[in-house]
Structure 1
Amino acid sequence: MRKLLFAIITLFSYSFSQAQPNTEIYVMDLRRSSEGLLIEKPLNISKNEGYDNQPSFWSDGESVLYARTINGQTDIARYYFDSKNTLIISNTKQGSEYSPTPTPDGRISSIRLDTSGLQLLYAYRFNGKNEVLVPKLKIGYHAWVDDARIVAFVLGDPATMQIINTKTGETVIVGENIGRSLHKIPDSKDFSYVDKTAENWTIMRMSPVIREAAEITNTVGSGEDYCWTPKGEILMADGAKLFVWSNDSEWKQFADLSKQGITSITRLAVSPDGKKLAVAAE
């Protein structure tokens, strides 16, 4: 049933042009105790009507990027923790940006969907200037593997997982039927993704060189979004509840954000120092 349901909603889920949920970005302190992970001081940093989503921490951990709805379109926003100010980086009249991600060379990679229907991966500088990173391929989601390569969810019939060299243009198809959550694994050259080929979805790892998949663990609940902590743990959500997995233990609940009025958590990101957690939530 779950696999059938996924097939049905896939027709709508991977087109950014469809109506988006009214989500907010929350950032909270992530602390460790003798009993495990704890969260403290959850704060809504977007406080904005519309689709505010896809948080990603800057490399110094002092700010977080996210996609923010402004005047009916979605632009790249950067929130600074010290000043509590938000900088709008893009203002693309003919389209919207999604999934802003720090690049290894200090820019921001983001998927841009133009009003014409053209959807490509761009690189943005903080002065607003941009250039296409990957021409021709319609990328839905991506993560940086190293200084040149990304792993990407590429839309098509079927949709595929591809490793793409942004400098040479070389592309290699390495999988199908995957989820949208792609990540480089901390202290590793491998990346991770969600395999949806079976009834029970599985988080997998793969080397961009050997390209052989290995199972890490099953997903928790009905979600597909997850993130890594610097210590090599995986965080996921089920509704308003947060769970952690590590090599030493199975999934364990460590927080419940329902008291903050949150009903559904989707995207998650942990700061490079492991001290902050950002989530997109309704």
Structure 2
Amino acid sequence: MKTIKYTTCLTIFLLISFFAKAQSSSDLIVLETKKLFGNYSIIPGSAQKLTDREGYDNQPSFINNDQVAFSSIDEDGNSDIIVYSFDTEEFMNMTRTATKSEFSPRLTDCGKYISAVTVEEDSAQRLWLYPINFGEPELLYDDIEPVAYYAWYNNIAAMSLLGDPNKLVYPYSRENVAELAENIGNCIQKRPKTSEITYIDKGTSVVLNGKETFELKSYDLEEKISGNHGVALGQSDDFAWVDKNTLIMAKGQELYIKKINKSMEWEKIAVVSMPDYGAISRLAASPRGDKLVLVMERK
């Protein structure tokens, strides 16, 4: 695998900045949702807390329709991957490591692992695989680092690597690690039922109605061409695909959707007002479209 290197001082600075931003106090909130005749909506009054504590519970990702994985930092500052089951209403540690920290969990395409960005004992930040049968974890790419965010396509991870600038890469093979984009935001998502990897381009801004925002772009890993899905929602960093043609983002406590096959305009569909909580920072939609998990910052 091709090694991509950065200067030591720059890498250390970026790693510190990455985790300083990540470790704010936040909780997971779940909403009931429905999809009917292509329309996506939030069921009023359905917001409930999944977590409720001072600390960091963040980066949710559905591993199936009834379980969501997320990153959780304990009182000692160590991050592990936790899985919550909606049917049993129970939490389970997927990882419990004293000398490493795991972030950004996702189910792999094969369904046999939960992957995570792992900060190792020597501060290396690489992608690891954690078997769902609790077998021994496996290091995926030994010389691709430091990984910040990623998404899966065809059992291969498209990864954002910290640097100046940061780079979005996809290892088609050990000898061919393609650089797809630079200066991307903190969210990488595969567009459902396509070979597109989508992201927010932070390299150039767009002024819309007097306010600065950025473009939502894509790269088709099969066709090897770039695409554009219009503008993001203000300065928001996180987005999710509800289905192949429906995007969802948050601004403050407001939720918006955009149907890229019909209109490139954002439409407000709900306001999530919870006592003692501020803005929505991340979100994850369930595969069947009946749940939406939000991350909301504690005041």
TM-score by length of 1: 0.88
**Equivalent residue in structure 2 for 1:253, among 263, 268, 272:** 268
CA distance in 1, matches of 2:116, 2:222: 25
Aligned: 1:277 with 2:289: no
Give the superposition deviation at 1:32.
4.3
**Equivalent residue in structure 2 for 1:155, among 162, 177, 186:** 162
Aligned match of 2:82? 77
Name the one with the larger strand percent.
2
Aligned match of 2:141? 134
CA distance in 1, matches of 2:188, 2:291: 20
Give the superposition deviation at 1:13.
8.0
Deviates more, 1:113-122 or 1:84-93: 113-122
Aligned: 1:194 with 2:200: yes
Aligned-residue RMSD, C-alpha? 2.2
Q: 1:237 to 1:18 in 2, by over 3 A?
A: closer
Aligned match of 1:4? none
Gapped runs of 5+ residues in structure 1?
Answer: 1-9
Kept after mapping to 2: 8 A contact 1:244/1:254: yes
Deviations 1:182-205 (CA, angstroms, capped at 9, x unpaired): 111112111211111212211112
CA distance in 2, matches of 1:224, 1:108: 23
Aligned: 1:23 with 2:45: no
Partner amino acid, structure 1, of 2:163: G
Runs of 4+ in 1 over 6 A off after TM superposition: none
TM-score by length of 2: 0.84
Q: 1:241 to 1:30 in 2, by over 3 A?
A: same
Task: Provide the secondary structure at the position in 2 that maps to 1:15.
Answer: helix
Aligned: 1:264 with 2:267: no
1:6-155 correspondence runs (5 A): 15-16=18-19, 20-32=23-35, 37-40=41-44, 41-59=46-64, 61-71=65-75, 72-106=77-111, 107-126=113-132, 127=134, 129-137=136-144, 138-147=146-155, 149-155=156-162
Partner amino acid, structure 2, of 1:57: F
Kept after mapping to 1: 8 A contact 2:257/2:268: yes
CA distance in 2, matches of 1:17, 1:219: 24
Task: Provide the secondary structure at the position in 2 that maps to 1:267.
Answer: strand
Q: 1:97 to 1:264 in 2, by over 3 A?
A: same
Deviations 1:45-100 (CA, angstroms, capped at 9, x unpaired): 122321111100013x1100000122321100000001100001101111210000
CA distance in 2, matches of 1:25, 1:169: 40
CA distance in 1, matches of 2:15, 2:249: 23
Aligned match of 1:180? 186
CA distance in 2, matches of 1:109, 1:197: 28
Gapped runs of 5+ residues in structure 2?
Answer: 1-12, 207-213
Aligned match of 1:6? none
